[in-house]
Amino acid sequence: MPTRAEIGVIGGTGFYSLLDEAEDIQVNTPYGPPSDVVTIGRIGDRDVAFLPRHGRDHRFPPHRIPYRANLWAMRALGVERVLAPSAVGSLTAEHGPGTLVIPDQLVDRTSGRVQTYYDAGGAVHVSFSDPYCPHGRAAAVQAARSGDWETVDGGTLVVIEGPRFSTRAESRWFASAGWKIIGMTGHPEAVLARELALCYTTLALVTDYDAGVEEGEGVTMDEVLRVFAENTARLRTLVGDVITALPDERDCPCVHALDGIKLPFELP
């Protein structure tokens, strides 16, 4: 069984396992332990590392996830590309539950989360104009559409602090800005991946309409879990298909994220 991997998968709400035959790996990081043990196995001819973002028992709420430890652990295991399945709400009536969105932009509306590795030892400024890997996005869109999944190519994910859901006023404000989906975990995960020069691709499953889109009681966790559970098997298949479709070599801007930058410490 492999003990290193080239591709990492960080599973979101309801996505707590991926690999049928895998070895559990304990990883120590300068930022404490990751959310759970990392499991490493194979999908096709590729070694894959899987980590449940919230822990297998969903013990970490969005604002308490050890994001820095999670991404550091992935890189320490040799991971170069990360796929990030997650549950999101829709900010538009046209994209209902069950829709898959592969966002190309991100807006941070969190507060208080540590969002960098480079907070001591000298200033490090990493470009983040395009948060997601273009090659990962292309592979995800192609794989999803080949599987007849209604897929939205592009759009902005707004990330809120949580753990509460939005008010109707907040939801309508986000929608008026043209943002398409809303979640609680896409930041700082994406920027930390960029700071480690990892490719990062979000696979966003719409589980609900956000509070401002429709009248009614608003978003409930039961609804989110129900819709995600209905699509978990399909999402697992998609992750495998995307992994198979990724190019053999990385030739994207993510690889060069740290070019010319003097780092205050050595990366794993």
pLDDT tens digits, residue range 212-266?
887 666 777 888 878 878 888 899 999 999 999 999 999 999 999 999 999 999 9
- CATH number of the domain residue 113 falls in: 3.40.50.1580
Residue 60 pLDDT exceeds 70: yes
Band (210; pLDDT cuts 50, 70, 90): very high
DSSP state of 235: H
Domain-located, residue 134 = yes
Q: What share of the chain in percent tops pLDDT 90?
A: 81
Domain-located, residue 1 = no
Domain of residue 165, residue span: 7-256
- The catalytic position among 36, 108, 210, 241 is 210
- The catalytic position among 36, 47, 208, 241 is 208
Q: Is residue 107 helix, strand or coil?
A: strand
What integer pLDDT is reported at residue 224 of this predicted model?
80
Query: Is 148 considered catalytic here?
Result: no
Domain-located, residue 261 = no
Query: Is 259 considered catalytic here?
Result: no
In this prediction, residues 136-145 reach a mean pLDDT of: 97
User: How many domains are there within the chain?
Assistant: 1
The sign of the CA dihedral 209, 211, 217, 220 is positive
Domain-located, residue 225 = yes
Domain-located, residue 264 = no
Cβ-in-10-Å burial (0-12, 13-18, 19+) of 138 comes to middle
Domain-located, residue 78 = yes
Domain-located, residue 107 = yes
200 φ, ψ (degrees, to nearest 5): -140, 130
CB 235 within 8 A of CB 147: no
Band (177; pLDDT cuts 50, 70, 90): very high
Domain-located, residue 91 = yes
